[in-house]
Amino acid sequence: MELILLLIYSAIVWFIFFKKKWLPWNITSQVIVVTIPIIALTVLVLFMNIVAPSSHDVRAMNYVIPVVPRVTGQVTEVPIEPNRPIKKGDVLFKMDPVPFEAAVKAAEATLAQNKVKLITAQASQRGLEDQLKNATAKKAALTPRVDLAKKRVEQFTTLAASGAGKRADLEQAQADLGNLESEYLAADATESQVKQKLGAKTENGDIDEVAQAKAQIAKAEADLASAQYDLGGTTHLAPANGRVANLALRPGVRATQFATMPVMSFIEEDDPWVIAFFHQNELRYVEPGNEAEIFVETYPGRIIKCKVDSILWATAQGQMPISGNLPNTQPIAAPEQRIAVRLLVEPRDREIFLAAGARGAGAIYTEHGKIIHIIRKVFVRVSTKMDWFVFKLH
């Protein structure tokens, strides 16, 4: 762009001083003619770097997911190929499911056994509750009869003492009272015994058989869910659209569930990060939502439209270790670290495949100095044309 402006300026100078000869071509005019473009271009570029800052370090980054199996087992199948597109939900690898299927069957058997125990315990409890009701009802029925028998004994005792009653009647009344009291005591003993069984104690507290059976069922259901979850972990699916690079996993390998030992690295492709790095004093006017344009070497001559998502206001220089040691200040000042700006690709260009690690350049157009933006856009478009050339001698 500078060359174009200089050519236009040279044409104007030639027209004024040589074609029309409106002004004399002397030392004074020559110094002025040379000085004007130098000063003008310097001011233009310096101001443009503020209102439309450019970056020669734009990078495409993708999320890399370390794939770690949920369970440890023998790999039986790896149906994918390295560096090939993979859709979300595609099978990455399978493991031998036999031991996990056995664990599921064992958990199902335990659950069924505990359900049978619950049914038995409930039937036993219902029987005890019926016995308790019968004993309580019998006590309730015997209570007035015992009271009546006691009154009759008192009456016959009084009559026998006065000689008005028979001794045999008194003895019969006492015998009836004894029988009723015996029945009452038997019912009371049965009631106490049943209550004791219903409130039977275990070593852990007052838990009856039904509650124990229900607790065992809950535990068996949790064990079954865990076993089914582990069984599902024998088939590992792709978490998103992407691809696997440098695939080394093969059938026969024993994969482990340790987080520090992933079996492969999955690279997402749906939501790439586009990061542009700027010097700190270039970002004074940059705001989220600003228009941006980038170009990468993998697409020569292609302008990719973006907008500013956010500014990552943090660098390693801004972090001080929290410890008992004093900060270590180097004898030489560390270079100023640049600030990263995340850019979002506009919908019209989202079908472009941005490889992880793709490099390029670009610019951001702020809300200030919009007249100068056209110059920056020309700069960007001229620069991307240079990516067509491969400067190699071999």
pLDDT confidence bin for 205, thresholds 50/70/90: very low
Q: Are 255 and 95 in contact (CB under 8 A)?
A: yes
Q: Are 384 and 295 in contact (CB under 8 A)?
A: yes
* Residue 14 scores a pLDDT above 60: yes
Of the listed ranges 131-135, 301-305, 367-371, the least confidently predicted one is 131-135
pLDDT confidence bin for 254, thresholds 50/70/90: very high
**Which residue bears the tokens 């980038």?**
294
The string of pLDDT tens digits covering residues 52-94 is 999 999 999 988 999 999 999 999 999 999 989 999 999 999 9
Q: How many CA atoms lie within 13 A of 174 on its CB side?
A: 10
| Residues making up the chain, counted from first to last | 394
* Residue 148 scores a pLDDT above 70: yes
pLDDT at 202: 42
CA distance linking residue 101 with residue 234, whole number of Å: 10
Q: How far, in Å, are 127, 130, 172, 216 from residue 122 at the CA level?
A: 9, 12, 45, 14
* Residue 198 scores a pLDDT above 70: no
pLDDT (mean) for 183-194: 74
pLDDT confidence bin for 123, thresholds 50/70/90: confident
Q: Are 359 and 297 in contact (CB under 8 A)?
A: yes
pLDDT confidence bin for 19, thresholds 50/70/90: confident
Highest mean predicted confidence (pLDDT) among 131-145, 167-181, 271-285, 313-327: 271-285
22 alpha-carbon distance from chain centroid: 75
- What share of the chain has pLDDT > 70, as a percent? 85
pLDDT at 206: 42
CB within 8 A of 370, min separation 6: which ones? 51
DSSP at 338: P
pLDDT confidence bin for 233, thresholds 50/70/90: very high
Q: How far, in Å, are 326, 329, 335, 337 from residue 332 at the CA level?
A: 17, 8, 9, 15
Domains and CATH numbers, the chain: 1-50 (no CATH), 52-62+272-317+337-388 (2.40.30.170), 64-96+234-268 (2.40.50.100), 110-205 (no CATH)
- What share of the chain has pLDDT > 90, as a percent? 39
* Residue 384 scores a pLDDT above 60: yes
3-state secondary structure of 244: strand
pLDDT at 204: 40
pLDDT at 259: 85
Give the phi and the psi of residue 227 in degrees, each rounded to 5. -65, -40
Give the phi and the psi of residue 68 in degrees, each rounded to 5. -120, 125
pLDDT at 203: 43
pLDDT at 165: 61
pLDDT confidence bin for 200, thresholds 50/70/90: low
CA distance linking residue 344 with residue 213, whole number of Å: 58
Q: What is the full DSSP assignment across 154-199? A: HHHHHHHHHTSS-HHHHHHHHHHHHHHHHHHHHHHHHHHHHHHHHT
Q: Which carries the bigger pLDDT value, residue 202 or residue 198?
A: 198
Q: What is the pTM of this model?
A: 0.65
Mean pLDDT for all residues in the chain: 83
The string of pLDDT tens digits covering residues 335-370 is 667 899 999 999 988 888 888 889 999 999 999 988
pLDDT confidence bin for 272, thresholds 50/70/90: confident
**Which residue bears the tokens 């100023």?**
336
